[in-house]
Structure 1
Amino acid sequence: MSDKKLILLLKSCIALGLCLIALGIYLHNFSQAMEAMGVTGIIISAVCVAVGMALSLPTKMYLTFILVRRESESSSK
């Protein structure tokens, strides 16, 4: 997989993760349906936030590593 495709995939994972985090916050704070569900609603919103963080945080670190490596390779040439 080329670097451009990998970077695009990682940025997509970051965007999906941030959207899931925002969805979890929305469900927890503003959704009446989740409030009516009780503990199950809390678990659903918590899972959205957890999966979003799992997608976004490690991806950001790896993307930063790739970009720093590419910058060091281009500056050494």
Structure 2
Amino acid sequence: MSSIVMIRLLKTSILLGLCLIVTGHVLIVSSYFTSEYGIKGIITAAACIAIGVFLSLPTKIYLTILLMEAEKRYLKSQQPPRAKSR
């Protein structure tokens, strides 16, 4: 899988995850939804939030790995060259 496709997939995943988190929050906050559906409505809203967090988690892990690799490259470039031993 090319990096462009992977980045596009991760962006879609985080966008969908954030939308689900916001949707779940709005459903919990709205008094109509919770009074109309009761505990099943609260469970549905909590499930939306949980799935949203689950979808956004891989993106955060991938970005953390990319930042760690970039830091390694930066630190490696900042080290003075070693003197060659005879």
What range is the shorter-chain TM-score in?
Answer: 0.7 to 0.9
Question: How far did 1:62 drift?
Answer: 1.4
* Percent of pairs with identical residues: 45
Q: Which runs of 4+ in 1 moved over 3 A?
A: 66-69, 71-76
Q: Give the superposed CA RMSD.
A: 2.2
TM-score under structure 1 length normalisation: 0.79
Higher helix share: 1
May I ask how many residue pairs the two structures share in their alignment?
75
Structure 1 spans left out of the alignment, 5+ residues: none
1: CA distance, partners of 2:46 / 2:61: 23
Higher relative contact order (CA 8 A, sep 6+): 1
Q: In 2, are the aligned partners of 1:7 and 1:63 still within 8 Å (CA)?
A: no
- Structure number with greater Rg is 2
The residue aligned with 2:23 is 23
